[in-house]
Amino acid sequence: AQSVSQHNHHVILSEAASLELGCNYSYGGTVNLFWYVQYPGQHLQLLLKYFSGDPLVKGIKGFEAEFIKSKFSFNLRKPSVQWIGTAEYFCAVNVRGSSNTGKLIFGQGTTLQVKP
């Protein structure tokens, strides 16, 4: 069965530090990849997505992610984080071409706490 693994469950950074959140998936076929963010009390917001082409994708709010097919990874990065309190980040994978296309499989989530 397909699965998504996020290595860090809770990350604490100081403002202006660089961020990298790991995401690995288990599936050998073609995938679509997503990163979502959820602020307390708010709905999930799409940060970026990868479908094809350049494996380095840029999203909103200065986030980017790199798809490394050989490593089954899609790590999220940001050069400098702002103080936002706490938010939860989810990596998700959609197996393209299966009968369940559109069904997203989520990782467990990473809570990011940024200190001023």
Partner 1 sequence: DVKVTQSSRYLVKRTGEKVFLECVQDMDHENMFWYRQDPGLGLRLIYFSYDVKMKEKGDIPEGYSVSREKKERFSLILESASTNQTSMYLCASSSTRRLLTGNTIYFGEGSWLTVV
- Tell which positions 27-46 bind partner 1, by CB under 8 A: 32, 34, 36, 42-44, 46
Would you list the DSSP string of 19-88? EEE--EEE-SS-EEEEEEEE-TTS--EEEEEE-SS-SEEE-GGG-EEEEEGGGTEEEEEESS----EEEE
Q: Could you tell me the smallest distance in angstroms from the CB atom of residue 80 to partner 1?
A: 27
Q: Which is nearer to partner 1, 41 or 116 (CB)?
A: 41
Query: Are 2 and 102 contacting, i.e. CB atoms less than 8 angstroms apart?
Result: no
Q: Which is nearer to partner 1, 4 or 81 (CB)?
A: 4
Which one of the spans 19-27, 67-75, 76-84, 96-104 is the region binding partner 1 (CB under 8 A)? Answer: 96-104
3-state secondary structure of 20: strand
Contact residues toward partner 1 (CB under 8 A) are: 4, 6, 9, 32, 34, 36, 42-44, 46, 49, 51, 90, 92, 94, 100-109
